[in-house]
Structure 1
């Protein structure tokens, strides 16, 4: 499957992704029915595009294959932390360590700069060499905020069969990440109901 084919079948952002970048990050890979799926971070070009689309890096930032792999590895750890939270179990230590490492790899607060044009001002230091690490730190911080903040109790796994995406429930007991998954759930219920009626 070509990268463009993977991207074309991507589902829209899940509920909550507009408030939590880490949710969209976790959902940048998905398994879909019929042995389909996608990975929006599969190669460096698509990983840079994802970062740029989320204002986490410039479109021309240089990303090597090893950085794209690090990005996918961080995503695996974020997904493991989300899954553990949803299931009410203790997450793997390695995932907690990976998130904390991403949080502390680059300066978390703006430093002081001074020049003739602007005088004293604060800047967030993230030169090109640290652009990817800076993006990782922001994603890790958002994941930590989601897991410890007011939306933590509403973090859920999609309830549609064969879907492994996450969402933040916005109302009621909705547990699916997209209209497509919701339609599949309702269609399956209708089929079961129809079968039950015929059996009677």
Structure 2
């Protein structure tokens, strides 16, 4: 019997992830020191687990690679918009389009289809596709709410290299975790010692 692969633990949730699922999605690819990364959406099973932990999919949703890829793609578009907002730069039109497309993916009724042999019929999307579309729409709407709401001014990138996560700043804190804050303080102390020597 094979032992399941143990994933290295990632940092704790960044400030604001509990309130904003889109922030948790943006932070689901974590850059670590030494050029290592953790991708919480790296496989369909990991994607299913991530969605289940956030109430966006049942445990047995049966994610496929296409579903995981759609979520990873939305993550990159949201990260692009968060970077634009945090740095005060214009947003990429493709990122805006991706968010709007995701928000409008969930049909409210069975869609009309046409079979060349049997003619018109109505059908709901495949159950897994419906779950993924609902999750994408929920995450995109949350990103839009975050970017246009009062918390947008507090959105910032973690100030510790090489961390690539975002957080909602409270006070002067601009690190996503204690680990990143400690690493940044240690780097500053090392730079001071090196410069004074």
TM bin (shorter chain): 0.7 to 0.9
Aligned to 1:42: 42
TM-score of the pair, normalised by structure 2: 0.85
Alignment of 1:140 with 2:129, yes or no, is no
* Corresponding residue pairs, total: 178
Q: Is 1:97 the counterpart of 2:97 in the alignment?
A: yes
Q: CA RMSD in A?
A: 1.9
Aligned partners of 1:23 and 1:166 also within 8 Å: yes
The CA deviation at 1:195 is 2.9
SS of the aligned residue for 1:145 comes to helix
Separation in 2 of the partners of 1:68 and 1:138? 15
Q: Is the Cα contact below 8 Å between 1:158 and 1:175 reproduced in 2? A: yes
Structure 2: segments with no counterpart, 5+ residues: 109-125
Distance 1:170 1:4, change over 3 A: farther
Which deviations, in whole Å up to 9, do the C-alpha atoms of 1:9-43 show, x marking residues without a partner? 31111001111111011000011111111100001
The residue correspondences of 1:76-115 to structure 2 (distance < 5 A) are: 76-107=76-107
Query: What secondary structure does 1:19 align onto?
Result: coil
1:195 aligns with 2:194: yes
Q: How many angstroms apart in 2 are the aligned matches of 1:196 and 1:138? A: 49
The reply to whether residue 73 of structure 1 matches residue 73 of structure 2 is yes
Describe the shift of the 1:34–1:128 C-alpha distance in structure 2 as closer, same or farther (beyond 3 A): closer
Q: Distance in 1 between matches of 2:69 and 2:128?
A: 18
The answer to whether the 8 A contact 1:155-1:167 is kept is yes
Within 2, Cα distance between the matches of 1:178 and 1:195?
A: 26
Runs of 5+ consecutive residues of structure 1 not aligned to the other structure = 109-125
CA shift for structure 1 position 56:
0.7
State the TM-score, normalizing by the size of structure 1.
Answer: 0.83
Q: 1:149 matched to which residue of 2?
A: 149
**1:183 maps to what in 2?**
182
Instruction: Report the 3-state secondary structure (helix = DSSP H, G, I; strand = E; otherwise coil) of the residue aligned with 2:34.
Output: coil
Residue by residue, what CA displacement relative to the aligned partner does 1:69-128 show, whole Å, maximum 9, x if unpaired? 1110010100001011111111111110000000011158xxxxxxxxxxxxxxxxx954
Q: 1:140 to 1:4 in 2, by over 3 A?
A: farther
